[in-house]
Amino acid sequence: MAAIIQKTFIFDATRCIDCRACMVACSVENNIAMNKTRIWVSGVGVNGEYPNLQRDTMVYHCMHCAAPDCLSACPVGAYTKRDDGPVVYNPKKCIGCRYCMNACPFGVPHFDFDKGIIEGAFIDKCTMCTQRIDIGLEPACVATCPTDALVFGERVDLLKEAHARIQAHPGRYIDHVYGETENGGTSYLILSPIAFTELGLPALGSLPVKNTSEKVMEFTIPVALGWGAVLSATAVGVHMANQKKEAKAKQAVPAEEPAEEKI
Amino acid sequence: MPNLLSRRDFLKVGGVAAGALALGSFLPPWVAEAARESGALDASDSGYIPSMCEMCVWRCGLLAKVVNGRVVKLEGNPDNPHSNGKLCPRGQSGLMNTYDPDRILSPLVRVGKRGEGKFRKASWDEALGMVADNMQSIKTKYGAEAMVFSTTHCLSQPLFENLLNAFGSPNYGTQRSLCFNAMIVSNLMTYGMEEPDRDYSKLKYIILTGRNLMEAISTSETSALSQAIDRGVKVVYLDPRFTKTAAKASEWLAIRPGTDLAFHLALLNVITSEHLYNALFVSNYTDGFDKLMGSISQYTPEWAAGITEIPSDTIRRIAREFAAAGPYAMAHNGWRTSNFVNSFQTERAIAILNALVGNWNVAMFPANGEESGVLGAPPQPAYPRNSAMRLDGVPWKYPFVPLSMGVFQELRDAMLAGTPYKAHGWFIARQNPAMSLPDRGRTLQAFSKMDFIVTMDILMNDSAWFSDVVLPEASYLERYDPLNIVGDKAFIRQPVIEAQGEGKSSMWIYKQLGNLLGLGNYFQYQDEEDYLKQQLAPLGVSLDDVRQKGYVDLPEESTEFSEPTWNTPSGKIEIYSSTLAQGKFPGVPQWEVPPAPQAGQFYLLTGKVAQFTQFGTQNNQYLHKYSDDPRLWINASIAQNLGLVDNDLVEVTSEVGMVHVRLQVTQAIRPDCVYLTPGFGHLSKGLTTAYGIGACDSDLHVSYSDPVSGGQALTQTFVTVKKI
């Protein structure tokens, strides 16, 4: 099999100071609403008993798997794995079934409850800042990281770099690069001083979940489409009912009082 | 995955002006024209414009991405050594500083009672006229000294100082006595300079005494420390809290507040008594080592162990390790784990510790500061002679405090007491004393003694809320400032978008006031660009070139090796300071017993978090979005003893004030301490994102000044905590 050149991140937990510059940068770059995010902090935080303490956190967003479960679970082909790494999502194709959310072992795709079924654009997730990497820039989270806890490059090079760091400081890291094989390999490689599960990462085998899930999915596509139709019908019904209710409420309530509480 | 900052947290900003960025306005013709001419923008007004951050005072270089005439993203500028292409969370959020829906968009004049928050819009002519009239009438009735001026570290500060000096008032408040007077005065006494530069690249051993660089982020210095740690440098970190820096250090010592001095005296004791110092460096380049030898023998590690609660073996080991790593060892002399009236002596001990291992020109270097003779300046007459004594006691009570720094909390107390004379007016520029000064109750009382208060800021800050006139400044993305020198370059801050509403640069505002007050000779520039052109004149470089490049190279200084000299009376590093001795202070550092809490009381600690700069960024929606709730930290075992659980609402009481705040039960703090994130508990309802969040530590802080440097002893406040 020919080697695919894949753009990849390294996240090094020993360098991360939990300052959240990456989170702000992501929000600004991608114009994320104030009550939404595509990037999270996880991990044990402060651990131990005073005064014997340690503190470990991880920043994560989409792992951009080589064989993405979100993609294989999607009944309508809303996900694409680009040859150069990013797993991207097309809202125009999405029917809002949320199978990708259940499929992703990292809990990355998020449903937009504010918009929901009626308004479209259901799922939100990291895009690897394709608008930046396509013109040769690093993703926003990486570009601003003050301590280089995040770096970006070609997967082959970064795997070498990750192993070199472990070799140079054997006592500092767990002797494993998370994402090298997990779930069939990810484009987010993680170095950690503590067990990866303590950073909040799932223990995964090297076979992508996809290998088994796709067999099942072959049967579910017709079902999913049917289910989509049911959902759509329900949504339209609910929407119409709501409109009727609102119309009634507007008539019933005097103008100075809001008819419904703001969501 | 278990999220620390979970999706649920994002409900906290809810729908608060989620579309605020849509308010962005288009480049005015002159900004766009200039940017296009300089090549920064293409015909569609898109491109990158180099400028400088102002979310804190570190001044990282930035590249503002402009699309169709709106700024949509800020990137770190790789050309600027303060940022090296990076920006911290505050820098990244800078757009929301400019596009804050709470921006003041026109001059305001108070119509309700002070503090009621009722204002009407006014024209610049009317507002500036009112300010000038009030200032002039105070000067006529009571003398220029009855007008107090205060501001915070910023690039237009020299022009603010021009205004107050030309006006003729000696009463000048800065933030410095609330921050680093102890460090600066100690460096002046020891090295003859305010703050030496530091280089982490060759270091093998670092002692950080409360220098929480991973949360108090100065982008390049934080990055340098991180790289040093990655390389394997040993970091000993002292702090009563397990901060994010403690988590990255090789060794965390939860030292007792107020006892940093004892720890460092004991290090000096071991290094001198065991002859571990760099004898050649000490004899060639320092003065007064013999006097240190005479007094330091009493400060043994065993003595210090009882005071600091750090085992004597640990202290002795660290002293030996530090000396063995010299000259590649550095004790960071910025800030402390806590601030007490003995903080000045702590800083002196740290400065001497560095001298003993001879790390000069290896870890610490002479600093040029921000001044440079190579830039031009508009001509101006000499300032009028000023014989009134300063209200803050400089120099008559604080002989060693530079006039440019002052003792702000003493100034406030004199304004309140009306002695030695009464102040009647207060000009507050880009500063928020209602939040920054200790004992907020007294600050609010001082406001009430003033006939006239004017505040200049981009937001309705808490001091503006109590002002008679509020002047809307243009944000740092909307205006020019004087050039900033970093190393061998001078960097420019330039407008990347039009000012929101009627915001104006402080350079413009000070000049208009100067003209109205008949002091126009002190502001001899047509506009901001003319000022910059006069600065650039000696270099023979055009403003357009600097605007395009973002900086100008300064003439190279001689790099030939010269014997180090220091601007002290002896010309050497002064281990013994005859200047201090003449002022009846100890010539070499001596132990001073700090006050301690009584039974049932806690030390009240303060300290930075990465998302906030002092009191000015809490209203930024991006930072609000990604920060933790500012709760009161308390040690878990103590909480259990007191029957308190996480998130309990508690009443915190000090000698001067009381606040209500939610509790954060944690292992990460000494049992005898509590900690409150500063900058919350805002009074101004004009700050709609920040108002109502957290509690204000300034409500609790008691005013104590260190007698040498005038530094506010910020940790010398003891509190009780009880469940409501």
CATH code of residue B662: 2.40.40.20
Q: Which residue of A has its CA nearest to B255?
A: A51
Shortest distance, CA A28 to any CA of chain B (angstroms): 6
Looking at the structure of chain A, the number of domains it has is 1
In a domain, B80, yes or no: no
Shortest distance, CA A222 to any CA of chain B (angstroms): 31
Q: Are B65 and B74 in contact (CB under 8 A)?
A: yes
Shortest distance, CA A144 to any CA of chain B (angstroms): 4
**Is the CB of B226 less than 8 angstroms away from the CB of A107?**
no
Q: Please, what is the Cα angle at A27 between A21 and A32, to 5 degrees?
A: 165
Domain co-membership, B401 together with B511: yes
Shortest distance, CA A1 to any CA of chain B (angstroms): 33
Shortest distance, CA B377 to any CA of chain A (angstroms): 35
In a domain, B70, yes or no: no
Domain co-membership, B166 together with B214: no
Out of A36, A60, A262, closest to residue B10 by CB: A36
Query: pLDDT confidence of A250, banded at 50, 70, 90?
Result: low
Neighbouring C-alpha atoms within 13 Å toward the C-beta of B255: 28
The DSSP call for residue B241 is B
In a domain, B102, yes or no: no
Counting one residue from chain A and one from chain B, the pairs whose CB atoms sit within 8 A come to: 171
In a domain, A71, yes or no: yes
Domain with B210, as residue range(s), is 197-365
Domain co-membership, B634 together with B662: yes
Domain co-membership, B227 together with B171: no
Distance, CA of B513 to CA of B135 (rounded, Å) = 10
pLDDT at B99 over 60: yes
pLDDT at B24 over 90: no
Spatial CA neighbour of B198 closest among B61, B78, B351: B351
Report the range of poorest mean pLDDT among B24-28, B516-520, B565-569. Answer: B24-28
Mutate which of B92, B100, B673 to test chain A, going by most A C-beta atoms within 10 A?
A: B92
Name the residue with tokens 């990281």: A145
Residue B661 bridge partners (DSSP): B650
Shortest distance, CA B87 to any CA of chain A (angstroms): 5
Mutate which of A19, A112, A142, A263 to test chain B, going by most B C-beta atoms within 10 A?
A: A19
**Is the CB of B622 less than 8 angstroms away from the CB of A146?**
no
Q: Which residue of B has its CA nearest to A168?
A: B231
CATH code, domain with B465: 3.40.50.740
**Is the CB of A51 less than 8 angstroms away from the CB of B627?**
no
Question: What pLDDT is stored for residue A251 in this prediction?
Answer: 55
Name the residue with tokens 């006069």: B534
Residue A83 burial by Cβ neighbours in a 10 Å radius (0-12, 13-18, 19+): exposed
Contact list in B for residue A106 (CB cut-off 8 A) is 1
In a domain, A49, yes or no: yes
Report the range of poorest mean pLDDT among A19-23, A74-78, B109-113, B560-564. Answer: B560-564
Out of A36, A46, A144, closest to residue B92 by CB: A144
Q: Across chain A, what does the average pLDDT equal?
A: 86
In a domain, A244, yes or no: no
In a domain, B63, yes or no: no
3-state helix, strand, coil in chain B (%, to 5): 35, 15, 50
Q: Which of residues 108-167 of A touch B (CB under 8 A)?
A: 110, 140, 143-148
Contact list in A for residue B672 (CB cut-off 8 A) is none
Q: pLDDT tens digits for A145-169?
A: 999 999 999 999 999 999 999 999 9
pLDDT at A185 over 80: yes
Domain co-membership, B271 together with B414: no
Question: What pLDDT is stored for residue B36 in this prediction?
Answer: 74
Q: Are B198 and B330 in contact (CB under 8 A)?
A: yes
Domain co-membership, B222 together with B300: yes
> pTM here?
0.91
Out of B16, B86, B226, closest to residue A144 by CB: B86
Out of A49, A147, A262, closest to residue B15 by CB: A262
Q: pLDDT tens digits for B412-456?
A: 999 999 999 999 999 999 999 999 999 999 999 999 999 999 999
Question: What pLDDT is stored for residue B559 in this prediction?
Answer: 58
**Is the CB of A201 less than 8 angstroms away from the CB of B1?**
yes
In a domain, B414, yes or no: yes
Distance, CA of B519 to CA of B162 (rounded, Å) = 10
Q: Are A21 and B94 in contact (CB under 8 A)?
A: no
In a domain, B620, yes or no: yes
**Is the CB of A169 less than 8 angstroms away from the CB of B666?**
no
In a domain, A188, yes or no: yes
Assess A27–B contact: CB distance below 8 Å, yes or no: yes
Q: Which residue of B has its CA nearest to A61?
A: B1
CATH code, domain with A111: 3.30.70.20
Domain with A70, as residue range(s), is 10-211
Looking at the structure of chain B, the number of domains it has is 3
**Is the CB of A28 less than 8 angstroms away from the CB of B88?**
no
Distance, CA of A97 to CA of A230 (rounded, Å) = 11
| Strands B61-67, B47-52: pairing kind | antiparallel
Which of B349, B365, B381 is at the close of a domain? B365
Tokens of A105: 């072992």
In a domain, B213, yes or no: yes
Contact list in B for residue A33 (CB cut-off 8 A) is 18
Shortest distance, CA A46 to any CA of chain B (angstroms): 7
In a domain, A185, yes or no: yes
Helices (H), B45-104: 89-92, 94-98
Spatial CA neighbour of A23 closest among B334, B560, B264, B624: B624
Contact list in B for residue A18 (CB cut-off 8 A) is 244, 610
Q: Starting from the edge strand earliest in sequence, which strands make up the sheet with B452-457, in order?
A: B119-121, B108-110, B469-472, B452-457, B425-429, B147-151, B172-173
Distance, CA of B501 to CA of B106 (rounded, Å) = 6
In a domain, B666, yes or no: yes
The residues, ordered by sequence, that sit 6+ positions from B297 with a Cβ below 8 Å of its Cβ are B269, B273
| Strands A123-124, A110-111: pairing kind | antiparallel
Q: pLDDT tens digits for A45-62?
A: 999 999 999 999 999 999
Distance, CA of B147 to CA of B168 (rounded, Å) = 9
Question: What pLDDT is stored for residue A241 in this prediction?
Answer: 72
Contact list in B for residue A54 (CB cut-off 8 A) is 247
Say if the ipTM goes beyond 0.85: yes
Out of A27, A35, A40, closest to residue B15 by CB: A35
